[in-house]
Structure formats: C-alpha cells, structure tokens
Amino acid sequence: MSSLPMRLDAPWLGWTSTRLVVAALTEGGGQCWFVGGCVRDSLLAPGRHDAALDIDLTTDLLPERVAASATAARLKAIPTGIEHGTVTVVAEGRPFEVTTLRRDVATDGRHAVVAFGGSLAEDAGRRDFTINALYARPDGELVDPLGGLADLRARRVRFVGEPERRILEDHLRILRFFRFFARFGGAAPDPSGLAACIRHAALLQSLSAERVAKELLKLLAGQNVLASLQAMADGGILAALAMEDAEAGRLAPLLRLAPDADPLLRLAALFHEPWPVPGRGERLALQLRLSSAESRRLEAALGEAAPPLDEAPADLQRRWYREGGTEAWRDRFLLAAAARGLGPEAVRASLALARAWARPEFPIGGRDALALGMRPGPKVGTLLRAVEAWWLDRDMRPDRQACLAELSARYRLDEPPPDP
C-alpha cells in the first residue's frame, strides 16, 4: 500500500444512480460527501466495478430535508435511522445511506445520542478509525481531516483520538479494531489501540452474541487473520469472549491448504481436535446465536469422525450420495488434512472430484414398487433400500430397467409361497 491515489477515481462516481442522489441533495440546497468504506475500499482498488459496494454519504442537510429533497427528485426516501440522522435514498433500485453531519452528545457503550450539524471535522471526530474517516466530494476530491490516508498507506488501524474514549463510546469497537486489523493491518496492531482494547476487554461481555458473531465472522475473512487472532489470544480478548480454547495455530495449516476457506470453516478450525467432540459445534453455535444451518454445519465438522484421506473415487461418491452432498465431507476432509499437515497437491484430486460431482437420482421409487403388485407397507421401504444399496455397490451405474428387475427379483424371493 505504499502508493495510493490522491484523488478518488471510482466507476461508481459516474453511475447514473449516484449522480441522481448527489443532484437531489445539492439541488435541495446542501453539500454532500462520500464517506467511509466506499472511499477507503475504492482507494485500495481504483477502477474496481463492485455492484455490491455500499455507498454512504454525509450531508449538511437535516434528515427531514434529505427526505424532502429525494422525494422532490422523484427518488424513494426511507427513514431507516432518522433518529440518528440516516435516510436511505433509493435511485434506480440502488440504496444510498445518507446521514446528516452529527456529533455525539451522550453514549452508553452501545448507543449514542447525537446532535445534528457541525463541521466535517466534527463528524470525522466521532468515527472509530482514521481509515474510516476519509471523505470524497462528488468530483472525487479527497478530504482527509485525520490522516487516514497515511494510515491506510502504512497499513495502520488507528483509533480516532483517544482509543479509550472511542471504546467507552461503543464497546464493539474492540472487536472492530481486530477485524479491521485482520483486513487492512500490517505486521502488528497499533500499540496504543491494542493496549486500550486489552485494558477494556471485560466490556465485551456487555455485547449481544449476535453482534459478536457478526464481527467475528468478518474478522475471520481477513487476509491478516492469523496475526489478528494471535494478538487477541495474547491480549486476553478471546478469553473475554469465552473462547480461550480457540487456537490460532490450528487455522494456519487450513489456510495453507485452502486459502478460500469461508469464515465458518475457519471458525471450526480454531476448535478442531484430531478426534470428534460431539456437541462442540452445537455449543459454539449456541454461544454465538448462529443459525440452525450454521449449527448443523459446525456440529458435523467438529462432532463427526473425519473421513479417510485416501478414499478411492468410487468410495467417495458413494459416501457423498449417502451424506446427501459434498459440503459436510469437504469440511471434515479439509480439517483432517490440515491437522495432518498435508499440502494442496495431496487434496487437489479429491476436491476437484467433489466440485464436479452431482448427486445422481436413484431411478426407482415407491410407485414403481406398487406397480409391480407390492402391497403398501414397511416391506416396500425395506426392499427399496436393499435395491438402493445394490445400486450403490455397483457405483450407481444400473439404469431404471436394471433396478426394476432387481426389485422384482427381490420381491419374488421375499414373498411367501402360495398356499397349496
């Protein structure tokens, strides 16, 4: 990051939707600036075309005036957070969050009472990190009140003003510090910010599990995740989250093996043992208030036995058929392979086969059994399962006619002889 542009040159500045929102605000008598992640991320990747990018603006117009100006321009205005100064303006189907310049009046560690008005410098002063206090005018001219550009260039995540004050305003900023370090940071966290996070680690216990989970999963997606997790472990942050048994060292071999591993699999790796620990995944999901699907996935990864790492292709495909797909197998396979210290070449063929595999459909069912004259009842299911096992043993190659013939033969053998 040694060189960054001094002016924002992002494709989204020229989008018709963007121009419509800017025109609505300026014709309504206000000024506006793009702010935060859209500026920061576009500086890091000039010219990127990211349709999913969140574009946020700040303005000197009061929220009610923002809504009125948008409506006058025939744009949709949604009062998503109007008490905090935010109106979502929708142009050509794209949402833009527009927030009035503001300053904090009071905070309780989770919520803030704000006053509208003030300068751009005051608005920047209430933000969390200098790299998130970067602004751009509609023509791309950068406004950098707090030195965020230099920090971004130096890969330094630095609190705005006094770290302790920022943390006491919002306790979640402890996790955000490590999350942004995992994404943008260099070799080591900012010393003063790290020290403040460590001093106030106990405040994390005031946060809801949902907020913790959201930040943690974003943190795990960062390219600098190992350094961030190690700093959290060393500073007692993981212990404050009741995750003292998480080990960053378990994640490193997984990232060497599968750099594209998603955050949930990375989370599982932190708690993975060489042997299954039934219930561990469910408890972790409950602790973080994760979804039912995420809970099932974690439990399968941590609570079920690892598959053999050298299964033949035919055996693999039978396993995937029985398990209903490849996702759960892939998680357990990668975790086991990482724990063994295997490299990408050792798993390449199996993973390629899994990506290409489509679950075949067993070619017969209950209606076919009834059409052969079988009476409805448990015996139908028993015979169908037996034929399905026969079909699997033959690598799922027998076609419908072969399966019907096998079912008919088994039915005849299973039927008692007629009365004399």
pLDDT the model gives residue 417: 47
- The encoded tokens of residue 304 equal 């079920």
Residue 88's H or E segment, with its range, is strand 86-91
pLDDT tens-digit series, residues 299-330: 999 999 999 999 999 999 999 999 999 999 99
pLDDT tens digits, one per residue of 335-344: 999 999 999 9
Rounded Cα–Cα distance for residues 245 and 254 (Å)? 18
3-state secondary structure 79-135: EEEHHHCEEEEEECCEEEEEEECEEEEEECECCEEEEECCCHHHHHHCCCEHHHCCE
- Tell me how far apart the 2 most distant CA atoms of the chain are, in Å: 102
Give the DSSP H/E element, type plus range, for residue 79. strand 76-81
223 to 183, 251, 332: CA distances (angstroms): 6, 12, 23
Question: What mean pLDDT do residues 258-271 have?
Answer: 97
Q: What is the CATH superfamily name and number for domain 157-244?
A: cca-adding enzyme, domain 2 (1.10.3090.10)
Short-list 100, 232, 104, CA closest to 168: 104
User: Residue 290 is which amino acid?
Assistant: L
Q: Would you place residue 102 in the very low, low, confident or very high pLDDT band (cuts 50, 70, 90)?
A: confident
Distances (CA, A) of 397 to 170, 317, 410: 60, 12, 19
DSSP state of 394: T
Distance in angstroms (rounded) separating the CA atoms of residues 202 and 291: 26
Looking at residue 109, what DSSP letter applies? B
d(CA 61, CA 98): 10
Looking up tokens 């060489």 gives: 274
pLDDT for 7: 83
CATH code for the part of the protein at 1-154 = 3.30.460.10
CB 64 within 8 A of CB 23: no
Q: Report percent pLDDT > 70 for the chain.
A: 94
Domain residue spans in the chain?
1-154, 157-244, 245-359, 366-414
* pTM, 2 dp: 0.87
Each residue's pLDDT tens digit, 364-403: 999 999 998 888 989 999 999 999 999 999 999 999 999 9
Whole-angstrom distance, CA of residue 219 vs CA of residue 172: 13
Please, are residues 143 and 101 in contact by the beta-carbon 8 Å criterion?
A: no
Q: Which long-range contacts (CB under 8 A, 24 or more apart) does 100-105 make?
A: 100/58, 100/59, 100/60, 100/61, 100/62, 100/63, 100/66, 101/58, 101/59, 101/60, 102/126, 104/169
415: pLDDT strictly greater than 70: no
pLDDT at 48: 65
pLDDT (tens digit per residue) in 146-190: 999 999 999 999 999 999 999 999 999 999 999 999 999 998 999
Q: Which residues, 6 or more positions from 191, have their beta carbon under 8 angstroms from its beta carbon? A: none
Q: Percentage of the chain surpassing pLDDT 90?
A: 83
Going by pLDDT thresholds of 50, 70 and 90, the confidence category of residue 359 is: very high
